[in-house]
């Protein structure tokens, strides 16, 4: 694997210009994943990786949570960190609490 050198920020401000050992220049888009990696923001980097790796969208996660699945079960099934699934759990919990309060009233 060739090591690339950072040359400059591209004129559009959205990409980096990199140079290989043979002098060939390439561009690299500045994505959220790149920003998180550069900041060494490990939780954000892991969340972005999980988001890319999973086929379960947030609405799918919430539907499964509404159906009775736990955050731990979904995380294990989808190969996601539990923290990632728990971010989508609170609206479901709030809906349940609201429904219970309506029934009690």
pLDDT tens across 5-39, in order? 888 888 888 998 999 999 999 999 998 888 877 77
User: Quick one: which of 32, 60, 58 has its CA closest to 46?
Assistant: 32
State the pLDDT at residue 28: 93
State the pLDDT at residue 98: 93
The domains of the chain are located at 31-104
Contact predicate 94/65, CB 8 Å = no
13: left (phi over 0), alpha (psi -120 to 50) or beta: left
Decide: pTM greater than 0.75. no
User: Pairing between strand 25-29 and 15-19?
Assistant: antiparallel
């Amino acid at each position: 694997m060739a090591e690339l050198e950072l040359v400059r920020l591209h004129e559009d401000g959205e990409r980096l210009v990199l140079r290989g050992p043979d002098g060939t220049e390439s561009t690299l888009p500045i994505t959220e994943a790149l920003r998180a990696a550069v900041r060494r923001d490990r939780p954000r980097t892991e969340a972005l990786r999980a988001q890319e790796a999973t086929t379960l969208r947030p609405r799918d996660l919430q539907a499964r949570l509404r159906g009775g699945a736990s955050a731990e079960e979904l995380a294990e099934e989808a190969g996601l960190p539990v923290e990632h699934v728990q971010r989508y759990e609170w609206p479901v919990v709030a809906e349940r609490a609201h429904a219970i309060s309506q029934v009690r009233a």
